[in-house]
Amino acid sequence: MYDIAIIGLGPAGATLARLLDSNFSIAVIDKKRSDGTGFHKPCGGLLALDAQKSISQFDLALPKDVLVDPQIFAVRTLDIKTGIIRHYQRFYINLDRYKFDLWLKSLIPEHVDIFEDSICTSIEHHNDSYHLQYISGGKTKNITAKYIIGADGANSIIRKFLYPHKKIRSYVSIQQWFLEKHLNPFYSCIFDPENTDCYSWAISKDGYFIFGGAYPKKNCRTRFENQKKQLKELGFCLEEVQKTECCLVLRPSKFNDFCTGKNNAFLIGEAAGFISASSLEGISSAINTAYYLSEVLNAKKPNPCLAYHKKTLKLRLKLYLKVLKCPFMYSPPLRKLVMSTGINSIKVIKNTNK
């Protein structure tokens, strides 16, 4: 019997487990393994400014082994339909996403019980407590908790349990790793309305080159391959696939897509729909919602679900503004107009010296 059970140890779950009061008995069920094997979250691994700000509030410093080469300060934005290319200054941190998750996990206090390489398979609610069944090492096990927290991402089992009829717009994120063969490493943001109404990315990373994107579920792999073919014709080096990764990603489209929980069950991070509809950035919201919930639970509020819902109002409004921004950002005519003017772009100076 635990006070709190957390499902998932991404940035949201790991931050919450670290911040909760030591008086709580806490269990965490997570798919990853500390030895580097097992589940890896498919992710381009760029830490945006909002996420950097979220980490900085805890006075934490990223360890050196989480960072990867190169660190680049401009994003090459490509609109395939119009052929327009612009460079925009951005301050992302290029990192190894798996090592980043393990670093956050390493900060969790020892009193927290972590069941790794485990998958939660069922949830039942009886007599003011939750009974969780999970599989670990091929064996079925059970725990009971007063509070449960879904930090298990886009395909959250806890969100499905709490809101069985809620459908949030989702995409399939597919990315492949290649050996880096470009003369100059780069980041690229790709718009291609023929294959997706979202966006794609290309990132140089520690001797590898990642190409990926978020695609509508129907014919997602065909869309990915079509786009890859177009990029190869434009000079992208996308030969000899080293590995292919995919996962579900949420993309909220209305205000009530953000669901925080009920009946002593809570959702944080992407499990709650807290992800930017315009950029798909979710690490900052994962960390912030974990912090908000830790404040509520540590204060032992009489109605913690309502208190947490209120605390997230500002974030929900902020993310809803991202939803409203999407038609302007992803409308081909508007994007063509903005990119044609070159507003806010930077001029890249080529070194012609031999």
Q: What average pLDDT does the segment 324-341 reach? A: 90
Domain range for 221:
2-338
Residue 59 lies in a domain: yes
Residue 349 lies in a domain: no
Above 70 in pLDDT, residue 288? yes
Residue 180 lies in a domain: yes
Above 80 in pLDDT, residue 35? no
Tell me what pLDDT residue 350 has: 75
Tell me what pLDDT residue 37 has: 67
CATH (domain of 66): 3.50.50.60
Choose the weakest-confidence range: 83-87, 223-227, 262-266, 327-331: 327-331
Q: Give me the chain's average pLDDT, please.
A: 94
Tell me what pLDDT residue 347 has: 87
Residue 352 lies in a domain: no
pLDDT tens digits for 164-209? 999 999 999 999 999 999 999 999 999 999 999 999 999 999 999 9
Tell me what pLDDT residue 189 has: 96
Which H, E and C letters describe the chain, residue by residue?
CEEEEEECCCHHHHHHHHHCCCCCCEEEECCECCCCCECCCCCCCEECHHHHHHHHCCCCCCCHHHECCCCCCEEEEEECCCCCEEEEECCCEEECHHHHHHHHHHCCCCCCEEECCEEEEEEEEECCEEEEEEEECCEEEEEEEEEEEECCCCCCHHHHHHCCCCCCCEEEEEEEEEECCCCCCCEEEEECCCCCCCCEEEEEECCEEEEEEEECCCCHHHHHHHHHHHHHHCCCCCCCEEEEEEEEEECCCCHHHCCCEECCEEECHHHHCCCCCCCCCCHHHHHHHHHHHHHHHHCCCCCHHHHHHHHCHHHHHHHHHHHHHHHHHHCHHHHHHHHHHCCCCECCCCCCCC
Give the predicted TM-score (pTM) of the model.
0.94
Residue 81 lies in a domain: yes
Residue 353 lies in a domain: no
Residue 322 lies in a domain: yes
Residue 219 lies in a domain: yes
Number of structural domains, the chain?
1
pLDDT tens digits for 60-71? 999 999 999 999
